[in-house]
Every structure is written in C-alpha cells, then in structure tokens.
Amino acid sequence: MQLPSNPFKRSLDGTPRYGCWAGFGTGYATEILATTGFDWLLIDGEHAPNTVPSVLAQLQAIAPYAIAPGACAPVVRTVNHDPALIKQLLDIGAQTLMIPMVDTAEQAEKLVAATRYPPHGFRGVGGGLTRATRWDSVEDYLAHAHEELCLVVQVESRTGVDNAEAIAATEGVDAIFVGPVDLSTGVGHAGNPNHPDVQAMIRHTLEVTHAAGKAAGILAPAEADAKRYAQWGFDFIAVGIDISLLRQAAVETIARYKPDTPRPTSSLGY
C-alpha cells in the first residue's frame, strides 16, 4: 500500500482555501461539516473538548470526503507543544498538524523534530500498532512519512511576529497561521484585531511567510475580514466556527417567533 496523500498539503497552490473550525468534538457533527463544501476543517484540540479518541473519530468521519471531488481536508490542532501528544496524533493518521503559540524558530525546530523519525527527529516508532501505517501495510512508511506531513505553526504574539521571518524559514515548517484574537489581545487591543497596529503585524507576518516560500493562513469568520485577507494573498482562511454558526442560527430562528428575546452579541465581533 502506498503512503496516503495529504489533501490539505496538495491544496495549497495559491488559490485561497476556505475552512471551518470543528469544535463540537464529535465525528457526527464534523462529518456534517465535511459535506457542506469547506475546503478544510480544523479539528480543534486546543479550546474544544477533544481527546485523541475523539480526534480519531473525526479523522475517520472526514476520510471519505477527503478523497472525493471537492475534497474536504482535515487539520488537527494540538493543545500545546507536547511531543508525546504529537506522536499520538500522527500515529492515528493526522497528516496536517497546527501547533499554537509558536514564538521562536527554536520552538519551531523542536516541533519539526517531534514529527520526524531518527536521524532527523525523535518521533517514536509505532509500526503495526498505528493507523498512520495502515497497520504496517504502507511500504517504507518510516522513510517517507515526512513527505506527506504538513506542519502549520501559529504566530499569535508580538514575539512571534518579531520572529516570524525566522520561524517561516525553519526547514520542515510548511505554513504559518496567524491567530488574530490572541495577537490583538496580547498587544493591548483586546477584541479588536482590526486595529491598524494589529493589521500591520498580520500583514508583516504574511509577507515574510510568503518570502520564505511558505503558505499563510488566518482565522476570519467576519466576511469583510476574510475577503480582505484573501485579497492580501492568504492561502487558507477559516471563515466559520461550527459552534458560532449553530448559536447564530439558533438566535436568529427564535427571534423570528419571539422578537423580544434578547440577542446577545459576541465580544469578538463574530
């Protein structure tokens, strides 16, 4: 059996790819999202109640749609930089990982090493125990696994922006994803990622990432933001969050029948 191709990595061809956060933590909800036309889905292990088994269930739920026309590709976000967790996620078949809060090239280098087998890293060998090897059916998996991996690191602090050029230049880093909410909060503009100072930092990160020949992504659930970032040249943009979409639809639905019902607003602007 050949090493499975990574549909997300293959999709990064200069055309904006639009994705959605999958935060419910269930394969059923994520499979619904996979049928709606999004190019990619972020299985969120940082802020959503996901565990390794629930991530596995969602990878399995997306799998049939990742190889169909108009494929929907999975991306898995870790909760931290823990190499043991990275190993587990790779072993269950995640091929694209997004790692939050990367501030330096040294951190990026350690994350790359966690995804590589010796002598290029220190990923442990699971062999026939792992879904990634199709239970030891993939030929020469140890030698070729890295070819279909995609490592996305998140820049979401002033330090990360200052070091974005070096982070993007790190061999083995495939893309940088800007976290505008954390970034704006960390630089003193909480809830206002559209502040001119924050926008300048975002654009700087995009430019140095592209200069390094890497892809750049961002979270932008507000339509005007997403369109602006697409015009700037961002390669992959998260334009929805499943929990927010459900909440908004529910609020709008009940308001049609109970117009006096309070309509709470988001402090984040979406």
**Which CATH number fits the domain that encloses residue 150?**
3.20.20.60
189 is a catalytic site residue: no
Cα 193 off chain centre by: 19
* Phi/psi of residue 215, nearest 5 degrees: -85, 155
Number of domains in the chain: 1
265 in any annotated domain = no
268 in any annotated domain = no
Note the pLDDT of residue 221: 96
98 in any annotated domain = yes
154 in any annotated domain = yes
Contact 155, 176 (CB under 8 A): yes
The residue length of the chain stands at 270
Note the pLDDT of residue 262: 78
Note the pLDDT of residue 191: 87
Residues contacting 253, CB < 8 A, separation 6+ = none
Q: Which domain holds residue 20?
A: 7-257
93 in any annotated domain = yes
Mean pLDDT per 10-residue section of the chain, whose length is 270 residues: 94 96 97 97 97 98 87 97 98 98 98 97 95 96 96 98 98 98 95 95 98 98 97 98 95 90 66
267 in any annotated domain = no
Note the pLDDT of residue 267: 59
- Helix 105-114 to helix 83-91 angle, to the nearest 10 degrees? 40
- Rounded CA gap, 58 and 60, in Å? 5
Note the pLDDT of residue 259: 85
Note the pLDDT of residue 269: 54
Note the pLDDT of residue 67: 85
159 in any annotated domain = yes
Marked catalytic residue, from 47, 144, 146, 195? 47
- Rounded CA gap, 183 and 14, in Å? 25
Note the pLDDT of residue 266: 66
Alpha carbons within 13 angstroms on the beta-carbon side of residue 179 total 25
19 in any annotated domain = yes
